[in-house]
Amino acid sequence: MVIGEGTWIGQQAFLHSAGGLVIGRHVGIAPAVKIVTSSHSLAELDRPILHGALEFASVEVGDGSDIGTGTVILPGVRIGRFAQVGAGAVVAADVDDYAVVAGVPARLIRMRR
């Protein structure tokens, strides 16, 4: 796990870094944000999902971005520089630099520039 200088992390945030986690400089991470870097494999149909192999994928949060309260960021996602993620979003795909996303799943609302 790498956390850049000037980053603020709110209360009750859960930062899972087994798959790799890089949080840039001057990032705001609101309370109750969850960042997850692993999931269980769904490949074995006759095996309980809980007992499936773990698959790891890194997460990157770009410099100057802001992650709203209660957001969930799933494995393998890259959040671009100066992006805004709305409260309660579930981020399952990459977010471009300067994008504003929100919703479940998170979708582009607008660009900041």
Residues spanned by the domain of 41: 2-111
Give the number of domains in the chain.
1
11: domain CATH number is 2.160.10.10
The model's pTM is 0.95
DSSP 31-72: TT-EE--EEE----TTS-GGGSPEEE--EEE-TT-EE-TT-E
Average pLDDT for the chain: 97
Instruction: Provide CB contacts within 8 A for 54, sequence distance 6+.
Output: 18, 38, 39, 40, 41
Q: Is 51 a catalytic residue?
A: no
Per-residue pLDDT tens over the stretch 38-75? 999 988 899 999 998 999 999 999 999 999 999 999 99
Half-sphere exposure of 18 (CA within 13 A, CB side): 10
Dihedrals phi, psi of 101, to nearest 5 degrees: -125, 155
pLDDT of residue 113: 83
Q: Is 42 exposed, middle or buried (0-12, 13-18, 19+ CB in 10 A)?
A: exposed
In the structure, what pLDDT confidence band is assigned to residue 1 with cuts at 50, 70 and 90?
A: very high
Instruction: Tokens for 80, please give them.
Output: 């671009």
Which position among 16, 26, 40, 51 bears the catalytic label? 40
Residue 50, phi then psi, degrees to nearest 5: -55, -30
